[in-house]
A = this chain, B = another copy of it.
Amino acid sequence: MLPNLKAEKLDPRVRRTRGLILAAFERLIAEKGFESISVQEVTDRAQINRATFYAHFPDKYALLDYSIGVRFRQEMERRTLNACHYTPDNLRNMILAVCDFLVHLHSDCAQPHQQFESLVEGTLKKGIFDLLSHWLKQTKSRSSTEIPATVATWAIYGLASLYSHNKKRPALEKFVDDALPLVAVNLEQFT
């Protein structure tokens, strides 16, 4: 079972602190981009002590990781893709979701730089991979899921990256429908 967002029974202080840090961080990212943010700015805006930040995150890169992960899982939950299994249609919806996610991320974030992008890529691929693996393991097929999930993950992220960086983007639905069969063929055995 994928860990649900609200299922975790945390100390309320921890939940509150993380929420404050996250909110401050996301507003700052929208204002001035990831690279130029300092930990101090985040903690000032979040109204928490700087030492407390380090009790939760090793550095601002870990915070970015966390932020992207939370947002991704929230989006999957919103589309009810977190509690289902593999079908070509679910796959289609997931690709749509990832494309959407990247497009919004780029418009929400001032000055996306190289480092930022590659961190996002890593986190997002992990999210996609985990969700896909979760789907595939629910099928009766005995075959290993690692390789097909990896292939599909990279393909999906690649598609979304292509789409989101495209200056004049085609209609999303059309784009995804063109690409879907190429990904789905690798996962046929799990249908």
A interface list, Cβ under 8 A from B: 12, 15-16, 47-49
Contact = CB atoms under 8 A, between A and B. Distances in A.
A12 B20 CA distance: 13
5 contacts: A12-B47, A12-B48, A12-B49, A15-B47, A16-B47
Contacts of A49: 12
A95 to B, nearest CB: 36
Nearest to A17: B16
A144 to B, nearest CB: 44
Nearest to A15: B47
Among A15, A16, A49, find the residue whose CB has the most chain B CB atoms closer than 10 A. A16
A78 to B, nearest CB: 22
Nearest to A48: B12
A46 to B, nearest CB: 10
Nearest to A49: B12
Contacts of A12: 47-49
A8 to B, nearest CB: 15
A48 B17 CA distance: 12
A15 B47 CA distance: 9
A24 to B, nearest CB: 13
Contacts of A48: 12
A47 B10 CA distance: 12
Contacts of A47: 12, 15-16
Nearest to A12: B47
A48 B49 CA distance: 19
Nearest to A19: B47
Contacts of A15: 47
A47 B16 CA distance: 8
A47 to B, nearest CB: 6
